[in-house]
Amino acid sequence: MAGDCAADLSRPLRPLAVRESRALNETSFKIDTPKSLATLVAKRLREAIIDGQFALGEMIPEETLATSFGVSRTPVREALNQLQQLGLVTIRPQRGSYVFEASEADIAALCEFRCVMEPRAAELAWHHARDATLTDLKTAVTEMAAARKQKDGVRYSRADTRLHEAFVQHCGNAYLQAAYATAGAKIAALRTHLSAPADVLHSRGHEQHRRLMEYFGAGDFKSFEALMREHVVGTRDNYVASLKARRQNDGQARPAAH
């Protein structure tokens, strides 16, 4: 009897952490975590700003939004804070929350960022997930053609965004993806607000996207990078011209002071 006890005590005990981890592995604790109200509100507001349902610089009424969503103002405020981190919203103390307003300097910085990031992301995507990227590119180019036919600027802008983001989504580099995500929403919103109305009327942008797809498919990244820079620089110039025209129209619309 004593020998049996001695034999039992002489066995090495498994550490508690190991025993617990095995128990956890044997039992399923997986649950579907519901998204918070703030996250859901932020997602819908993000879509609305990108799709042009709010104008650049427009005030976002918290109380009206809370009523519309059927929630309190707390998740709305949390959502606006999330969107401020993405650059889509500006919160002014004691004044309210507003859709961001683009400046020429901001546009130039974003476009230079794209000229650096997108060609490298495309090259990585070619090595990491070429076929999946090409599938997304073909879908986006086809969608652009349909949007141009219908003269649907929002639809065109969504397809445009899908094409450019395909390179990043398939690049396989989490750090590059995170860096692009900080600017991606603002880039998408600027497309809708400043270039999509003209893009559906002219073929140049669509043609450039088609050629980018062809260069990607061929792995010709020297030509791809040159065209991407030409495309983005042209976009920058169009944005600035559109911004100036909007400001001029706003100035003319204001009644003269007496």
CATH code of the domain in which 161 resides? 1.20.120.530
Task: Look at residues 57, 76, 99 and tell me which one is the last residue of a structural domain.
Answer: 99
Q: 3-state DSSP call for residue 175?
A: helix
Which pLDDT score, from 0 to 100, does residue 246 have?
78
Domain identity same for 129 and 88: no
Integer angstrom CA distances of residue 73 from 61, 64, 65, 79, 138: 10, 9, 8, 10, 42
Domain identity same for 114 and 201: yes
Domain identity same for 64 and 191: no
Nearest to 148 by CA among 192, 112, 197, 105: 197
> What is the pLDDT of the chain when averaged over all its residues?
86
Task: Look at residues 99, 123, 138 and tell me which one is the last residue of a structural domain.
Answer: 99
Domain identity same for 116 and 206: yes
Is residue 19 situated within a structural domain? no
Which pLDDT score, from 0 to 100, does residue 13 have?
47
**pLDDT digit string (tens) for the chain, length 258 residues:** 444 444 444 455 454 444 444 544 555 544 444 568 899 999 999 999 999 999 999 999 999 989 988 999 999 999 999 999 999 999 998 899 999 998 999 999 999 999 999 999 999 999 999 999 999 999 999 999 999 999 999 999 999 999 999 999 999 999 999 999 989 999 999 999 888 777 888 889 999 999 999 999 999 999 999 999 999 999 999 999 988 887 777 766 555 544
Q: How many domains does the chain have?
A: 2
Is residue 3 situated within a structural domain? no
Q: What is the pLDDT of residues 97-114, one digit of tens each?
A: 999 998 999 999 999 999
> What is the CATH number for 82?
1.10.10.10
Contact 154, 191 (CB under 8 A): no
Identity at 170, one-letter amino acid code: H
Domain identity same for 86 and 149: no
Is residue 12 situated within a structural domain? no
Is residue 159 situated within a structural domain? yes
Alpha-carbon distance of 252 to 118, in angstroms, equals: 38
Domain identity same for 78 and 109: no
Domain identity same for 128 and 43: no
Domain identity same for 234 and 171: yes
Distant-in-sequence, close-in-space partners of 176: CB < 8 Å, separation ≥ 6: 117, 120, 121, 124, 168
Domain identity same for 121 and 202: yes
Which pLDDT score, from 0 to 100, does residue 195 have?
83
Is residue 176 situated within a structural domain? yes
Which pLDDT score, from 0 to 100, does residue 258 have?
45
Domain identity same for 58 and 136: no
Domain identity same for 74 and 144: no
Domain that holds residue 176: 104-250
Task: Look at residues 56, 80, 99 and tell me which one is the last residue of a structural domain.
Answer: 99
Is residue 108 situated within a structural domain? yes
Which pLDDT score, from 0 to 100, does residue 207 have?
96
Which pLDDT score, from 0 to 100, does residue 54 have?
93
